[in-house]
A and B are shown apart, each in its own frame.
Chain A
């Protein structure tokens, strides 16, 4: 389990190349820093071997031998600098090429990812329409299998970045950018939007959950089911509250007449780890706060503030949490 995102704790081959590059840069540049600072300190503190300080106004003309020696030193340092910078550029470009290469001809899964202000629309593409899964803010993938993310945006430019798995991929309106991810070990990897996209950019996170293939298939089959019809009257009341208020204008729940397309699909809301795009853990209390006053939790987000009396709010929360 990796509770925090870190580019230095790679869970995939691509992230490992990036981490190597980062450590390489750090080691080389730290060495150069130490050498430069040490040289400067040595120059400042070394003894001036018995020579009287020359007045500054006089034209300074060192001997030919000193001049030649200085030229050699400065010239040598310049050549070393150019070679090192060139080396860094080459290694950076090679790493960039390596991580953007398709992992395989045939992805095990193709996922459409659409950035929205400020949440992620996720759709598992399939030739068979009955196998298409729509969810939000949480991507499940099987471990050790190449997954192709096809990303775009519905409004402004966003950027998909799960540091433990791969580099960034900008999501640009009306263009499709591709990124391969292939987790080598099971775990929960946090990602976030890496391109400033407005007021709630900082609260636009998502989770990638890598699990063994069997668990993934189980999850997928569960996601393909429509929301269960509520059996007990309390939950049925919750469903009625959902359908007869503003919720239904934006959200969809498969198996009900809720077909809103502009906000996260809530068919299996109860199975997700977080609410409000990774802003808060998915708990009963957080959900209640989010529904009652979303603008205090994420000021400026597009969730409408709807006044619900407590006797409507409680069944609604329970109904949503029951959508496993």
Chain B
């Protein structure tokens, strides 16, 4: 009896939530920052079945008659943040057995219930590129996730039209991946090892092409080579950790030689080679830190990096590299680029749309437009102000964070139980770093 009752309750709750998704939800009265257009002072956002169905000014935007209306007067609404470089959920890619591990999927290591995900929701992050560390030349496959409130990893992943989980490939150069053999001992060796594997992948791909579907002629299946072929074919964007100006140029050289799609990450000295990055039409996902140094490669970090890259014509996204920056402070990082001379508009674009494009998700997330996923934030004020709090975070129309709920607030402010505390700055336990 008790069982049957709870089943009925569960079914009712389910149908209610389906109903909530069916019924249009209208958020009325906020200052809306759509990213793809000018801010709307008294705006309306209508969402239904996880999608945005209308965005516009109050009065001139049709609200369906059956819509449930939410008064958000005095608040600010913007798209959910896209964090193009994050380590939330406890990612662990390749181990210490070799420097290049394209078969290691970070997907297989993540914990969807990790408190870091809850803090990311509190910070307004709705989409993230979760990556393994930078202690390898290639530490594994990254995964693009939505910060849905789910318990299974499979439900967190963003899928393409064919239903395949989406992600990129994490590579790194510079000092983090220079370690004891079999890892490289120098920069030149680093590039040589990477080129060697990419050439092997070209050959592997060629064998498959020549087999023309003939099973007997196909090479033995090689998971690592498969990962690299996806890189060569442009199906998997390379997310390349790089700091020093010469290392940045090494990435551009490698990308040109093998024709892979690449996003530069961190790009600490990007301002020194901004024109070369712009000429290569490569975009940059920047991590903003409060002071220079901490390691040799970041000795010349400057708040002006983003502004100088932008003036050269480079597309800029801002990332957390959580735990380098806690996900709750992603908007702060963007504000610091404004302190360094970037325009407000570009900084807000860098929090949302730019990252979406870098993850091949530009048609789905990153701006408030009809047809896009209903990933949005309700803020207490301007997104670039220190005094602003994220009040609510929505992913695909569902509220995943509410500051008025004490259980959620704990992850916004911190406090007893807000962290597991066991996440190391260094995810593979053998000297690698973020």
Q: Do these two chains interact?
A: no
